[in-house]
Chains A and B, each alone.
Chain A
Amino acid sequence: MKEIRIHGRGGQGSVTAAELLSVAAFEDGKFSQAFPAFGVERRGAPVQAFTRISNNPIRLRSQIYTPDYVIVQDATLLETVDVASGIKDDGIIIVNTTETPESLKLNTKARVMTVDATKVAMDIIGVPIVNTVLLGAFAGATGEINVESIQHAIRARFPGRVGEKNANAIQKAYKLIRREEA
């Protein structure tokens, strides 16, 4: 089983990202589970959402404390939230930032990867909503999910032009983090 924790701020679509990830994993033939860290959500406040992916039915109902992967939508969270908390040593943390992984100085043995998802979102979608873009980066960085499955999940959730733009942005982020494109 792989466990993913998504950090964001209220309104950035962390829960939607977790849900889309679970749909994409299911597309790939895996069992999945997505849920928010239930709280009194407010726009702008730090929030978390979780996804589990497994080859077997998922029965575990606790929150995720030792994730394999962490996605950080907003680098300003690093000042107040320990996004590396509990991550496995061979895990990956993906941060949306213009900075390099080293400059973030995260206290972790896990691999830190960065992607300027905000730029990708602005260039392709036209709005600074990075949740779907980061799923493309996730597919590229981890290989846990086919990027096509994520694109399929987005198109199903947001039919038409919005879904199409998001699918393109996902492709871009996928290639960026795999350094297949500058």
Chain B
Amino acid sequence: MIDPAYKKKMVVVEGSYAVAHSAKICRPNVISAYPITPQTHIVEDLSQFIADGEIPNCEYINVEAEFSAISALIGASAVGARTYSATTSQGLLLMHEALFNTSGMRLPVIMTVANRAVGAPINIWNDHQDAIAQRDTGWIQLYVEDVQEASDTLPQLYKIAEDNEIMLPGMVCMDGFILSHVYEPVVLLEQELTDNFLPPFQPENILDPEDPKTFGAFATPDTYEEFRYLQEQAMQKALPKIEAVAKEFEEVFGRFHGGLIEGYMLDDAEVVVVSMGSVLGTVKDVVDEYRAKGEKIGVLKVRSFRPFPKKQVCEALKNAHAVVVLDKNISIGTNEGALFIETKSCLYNSKVRVPVIGYTLGHGGRDIRMESIEKVIEETKKVAKSGITVESQFLDLREELL
């Protein structure tokens, strides 16, 4: 049963509503959105809040395309506004060019991405391909496990991104449909606590006619490289900041979802399942079944994909006998998912020696059943015993369709 004291604070709402509420509570000054599919209820709920006068000092800009949605926020952020948008799938892809601009101009624009597959073929369902395709744009990417975390991560990300040492844009990546359309009990973000936790946005540099400056101007080969270096430095500074802000959030709100990574039954685990997003819930249920039988299976949740916490991942996997990484995306041409590639990469030059295999799964909303996770764990147990036979493969392929 739910603790009655805790229940009083909770309501059952749609995931998108909880996120929209959270965005509202973070006191944005400019929200932009392109309201035609692919979209979510997030911006729909926000436009309702605006119409009801519930977001003070905020402009809602209904734009004509996703490219404009991000462009509007670039301008707004440059003059010192706290900005927000939500998008998904092809909409995020259309933003791609301007995502680089946002990061290169060091503007802490924040978005929620309801992760969905990309076409062709046309598909509206969940996977992580849309956000993974933005991996190198210089945005912080935090992947969340449930609706509460999707809601709670927004103020955390504002605080991380707007830090004067960091000044990078960020996206909260939540599984489309699975989290955006689910109804479950959540604590909606509290205004008073959030005001204490998240200070107003006060950038050192803004566009101001009284004190003219240039953002995103021309950089020749003499200086361009240094801009890229400083972006990378900012990402590295975000690593400890993500951890610190998650702990600070816990102190204020009493809720913790992990910092850069979060282990579950990890300390003595011989087989470790590594993944991101809502599938972790299903994996944990399966791991509980194994633990009940006395089998040492654990879970490593990667919350921060960019910056990637190499040191923490190596440390978390150092005692494992075999590791399996689950990716809801694929880098076509490698037959591997992005998290699998990243995990192997950070282990290679470390002292940790552990076999790692990967599965790419859940493409275009293919449902991930507990039985499939059991199959993955059984295969990884074999790897622990006798080594790797297949390094990376698709899970739940329907051979009869090929």
- Among A52-60, A109-117, A121-129, A161-169, which stretch is in contact with chain B? A52-60
Q: How many residues of A contact B (CB 8 A)?
A: 23
At the interface, yes or no: B170 with Cβ under 8 Å from chain A?
Answer: no
- Those 9 A-B pairs whose CB atoms lie nearest each other, nearest first: A59-B281, A34-B183, A35-B182, A38-B177, A23-B12, A29-B1, A19-B183, A33-B184, A61-B278
B183 touches A62 (CB 8 A): no
At the interface, yes or no: B4 with Cβ under 8 Å from chain A?
Answer: yes
- Among B129-137, B228-236, B246-254, B367-375, which stretch is in contact with chain A? B367-375
> Complex: how many Å from CA A32 to CA B185?
7
Contacts of B182 in A (CB 8 A): 33-35
The one of A23, A55, A61 that contacts B368, using a Cβ cutoff of 8 Å:
A61
Contacts of A36 in B (CB 8 A): 181
B1 touches A55 (CB 8 A): yes
At the interface, yes or no: B335 with Cβ under 8 Å from chain A?
Answer: no
B contact residues vs A (CB 8 Å cutoff): 1-2, 4, 7, 10, 12, 14, 124-125, 146, 175, 177-178, 181-185, 278-282, 284-285, 365, 367-370
Contacts of B282 in A (CB 8 A): 59-62
Given known pairs A61-B278, A61-B368, the reply for A31 and B183 (CB within 8 Å) is no
* Shortest distance between the CB of B142 and any CB in chain A (Å): 18
CB-nearest residue of chain B relative to A33? Answer: B184
Contacts of A19 in B (CB 8 A): 12, 14, 183
Contacts of B175 in A (CB 8 A): 61
A31 touches B279 (CB 8 A): no
> Complex: how many Å from CA A29 to CA B1?
6
> Complex: how many Å from CA A58 to CA B370?
14
Contacts of B177 in A (CB 8 A): 35, 38
B369 touches A65 (CB 8 A): yes
The one of B2, B280, B368, B369 that contacts A26, using a Cβ cutoff of 8 Å:
B2
> Complex: how many Å from CA A27 to CA B204?
48
At the interface, yes or no: A22 with Cβ under 8 Å from chain B?
Answer: yes
> Complex: how many Å from CA A40 to CA B364?
13
At the interface, yes or no: A30 with Cβ under 8 Å from chain B?
Answer: yes
A32 touches B184 (CB 8 A): yes
B370 touches A62 (CB 8 A): yes
> Complex: how many Å from CA A33 to CA B182?
7
* Shortest distance between the CB of A40 and any CB in chain B (Å): 7
> Complex: how many Å from CA A47 to CA B370?
23
